[in-house]
Amino acid sequence: MSSLERSDVERLAALARIDMSDGDLDRLSGQLAVIVDAVAKVAEVAGEDVPATSHPIPLSNVHRPDAVRPSLAQDAALAAAPEAEEGRFRVPQILGEDA
Amino acid sequence: MTDWTRASAADMAAAMQRGEVSSVELTQAHLDRIAGVDGDVHAFLHIDAEGALATARAVDEARANGEDLPALAGVPIAVKDVLVTEGLPTTAGSRILEGWIPPYDGTVTRKLREARMPILGKTNMDEFAMGSSTEHSGYGATHNPWDLDRIPGGSGGGSAAALAAFEAPLAIGSDTGGSIRQPASVTATVGVKPTYGGVSRYGAIALASSLDQLGPCARTVLDTALLHEVMGGHDDMDATSLDEPVPAVVDAARDGARRDLSGVRVGVIKELSGAEGGFQDGVKQRFDEALEHLRAMGAEIVEVSCPSFEYALAAYYVILPSEASSNLAKFDSVRFGMRVEKGNVERTMAATRAEGFGDEVKRRIILGTYALSAGYYDAYYGSAQKVRTLVQRDFDAAFAEVDVLVSPTTPTTPFKLGERVDDPMAMYLNDIATIPANLAGIPGMSLPAGTAPEDGLPVGFQILAPAREDARLYRVGAALEAALVDEWGGALTAQAPELEVK
């Protein structure tokens, strides 16, 4: 596996919704390439016969009673919102300029 | 006059029951200590003097009225800022959550309130628990009370430093790859990562959900056990919570203090004790001396090999960023936290996350996004999950031979602040001995083993047990603690240099 390039970091940051300045990309790209190269060794050891483990202590069919219980009131849920209006979260424009 | 801040939580509880001290006096003593030393230590992000004293007063009144009270009622506690507390600011060490007041309590917070323990405040941590030094906190680093120029460990450096600086007798931590045990190691305090599912994660701001576990931090093994029993137990708000009783850890700690380990088989992990792991001489020396104590108390010491541990660090730094990149998607400028307006909602999200997250969080989100992306998923995330299986198999094989496994908690004593902050891989290597337990979900403890002769700084001793056998940690840990405290003529924390009280 090849190391991570600056352009990869730029693309990944866009996918992860994090703005990156040129300075950020300069600083983080080199560090990330070192980390990616170091962790690539995970592919060296386990063959196809080894099953994957996603959870340390697997539990199945975890249920709780489907009963009505107290929940957050609307004003409490909205209290920490950067902006709220008419009982809803208010956000900036969600559609593109042309829409 | 007694300085109550030096006492154990168990002694504080007993003294309150005998009427020798009130909860208000205890709580005020700790608030005064915080006021005196936290300017230098910076263990706390938020202090709730009023709330803590109100709880203390209510406990004192209830006691005066002859009410039955929980064991730790009136004993103050510090809470890592990863755990949500209704009405108290919670940031997880991130600027993106600056000023956020949660509208609900996490399950462990609720249990602390039911146990009637005054909450002194919220402790500093690496942002979203990503780090081993608290230097990645959005609010400045915590300083190690043993040497203010050195790291207090991380991510739970605030909780560990608060204990070592006598600002609190008990604290809550969270451990995803060592964030309870590594800070305990470098501050000469005690910390336990319980079995995965042993303590509810409801209301703990998630880093990597398959690795995270809340746990108790204290200055003695018995105090850690007392807090463990308050925190633990099944919770139907957490689908990974184990539906079984809390292990009898307090009994195990009392049993261990009798210093009889006859018949206990202790396995020294070959890969985590020799030159291979880059372990400092003084760390190795104190570790070997601790083994001698265990042997003298009747334990049988054998060496075991866990060959897959060589790959554990790499697997961890694939799994953790992958889960974190998903968990941290919720910080999107919509429902809570920071918003940096920049045109439409997508550009606002990206501007907010750029401003609100620090470098380490950005690194790990990008790493996780990469490891989960099409074309790379099998090579990275898929392979890491297989390594996880291999690590579990190593533990299974080892625990077929021995009752507990041991190693130094960290390869070195605490390093200087700033030394590794721009070298992420060097920082990650701190956790080489603690990470395997999180991958396998097993419980682990760190307790003080002494100070390294070459630098006079704390060395930690790690004990690991099979899943659900948390009690074994406490039995062996309490025995070792009793033997060492006897040798030292008192607790190791008493040997720390006195902090200047301002």
A2 pLDDT more than 60: no
Cα B312 to chain centroid distance, Å, stands at 20
B124 pLDDT more than 50: yes
Per-residue pLDDT tens over the stretch B66-108: 999 999 999 999 999 999 999 999 999 999 999 999 999 999 9
Highest mean pLDDT among A35-49, A63-77, B394-408: B394-408
- Does residue A15 form part of some domain? yes
Separation CA B442–CA B439 (nearest Å): 8
Residues of chain B found within 8 Å of residue A13, distances taken between Cβ atoms: 362, 366
**Catalytic annotation, pick one of B22, B23, B159, B179:** B179
- Does residue A53 form part of some domain? no
B460 pLDDT more than 80: yes
Per-residue pLDDT tens over the stretch B187-236: 999 999 999 999 999 999 999 999 999 999 999 999 999 999 999 999 99
Q: Note the pLDDT of residue B322.
A: 97
Average pLDDT over residues B295-314: 96
Calculated CA dihedral for residues B39, B44, B50, B54, nearest 10 degrees: -130
Q: Please tell me if residue A3 touches chain B, with a CB cutoff of 8 Å.
A: no
Residue among B111, B82, B107, B115 nearest B235 (CA) = B107
Q: Helices (H) and strands (E) in chain A — how many of each? A: 4, 2
- Does residue A88 form part of some domain? no
Q: Are B167 and B219 in contact (CB under 8 A)?
A: no
Interface of A with B in 50-89 (CB under 8 A): 50-57, 59, 62, 64, 72, 76-77, 79-83, 89
Residue among A42, A57, A79 minimizing CB distance to B380 = A42
The torsion angles phi and psi of A85, rounded to 5 degrees, stand at -155, 135
Contact flag B389-A36 (C-beta cutoff 8 Å): no
**Mean pLDDT, chain A, whole residue set:** 90
- Does residue A19 form part of some domain? yes
Q: Are B221 and B460 in contact (CB under 8 A)?
A: no
- For residue B155, cis peptide bond before it (omega within 30 degrees of 0): yes
With respect to CATH, is domain B8-310+387-495 assigned 3.90.1300.10? yes
**Which of A5, A35, A36, A64 would you mutate first to test chain B, the one with the most B CBs within 10 A?**
A35
Residue among B353, B363, B390 minimizing CB distance to A28 = B363
Residue with tokens 């990469």: B370
Per-residue pLDDT tens over the stretch B439-452: 999 999 999 999 99
Sign of CA dihedral B286, B289, B291, B293: negative
Per-residue pLDDT tens over the stretch B126-161: 999 999 999 999 999 999 999 999 999 999 999 999
The structural domain count of chain A equals: 1
> A88 in helix, strand or coil?
strand
Kind and range of the H or E run holding B379: none
The torsion angles phi and psi of B50, rounded to 5 degrees, stand at -65, -45
- Does residue A37 form part of some domain? yes
Query: Residue A65: pLDDT band by 50, 70, 90 thresholds?
Result: confident
Provide the residue range defining the domain that includes A13.
Answer: 6-44
List, in sequence order, every beta strand (DSSP E) within B119-233: 119-123, 170-174, 190-193, 214-218
The ipTM assigned to this model is 0.94
The three-state DSSP-derived secondary structure of B293-326 is HHHHCCCEEEEECCHHHHHHHHHHHHHHHHHHHH
Single-letter amino acid, residue B173: G
Per-residue pLDDT tens over the stretch B230-289: 999 999 999 999 999 999 999 999 999 999 999 999 999 999 986 666 899 999 999 999
Q: What pTM, to 2 d.p., does this model score?
A: 0.97
Query: Residue A1: pLDDT band by 50, 70, 90 thresholds?
Result: very low
- Does residue A28 form part of some domain? yes
In sequence order, which ranges of B121-168 are alpha helices (DSSP H)?
157-164
Contact flag A16-B425 (C-beta cutoff 8 Å): no
Separation CA A24–CA A10 (nearest Å): 10
Per-residue pLDDT tens over the stretch B332-375: 999 999 999 999 999 999 999 999 999 999 999 999 999 999 89
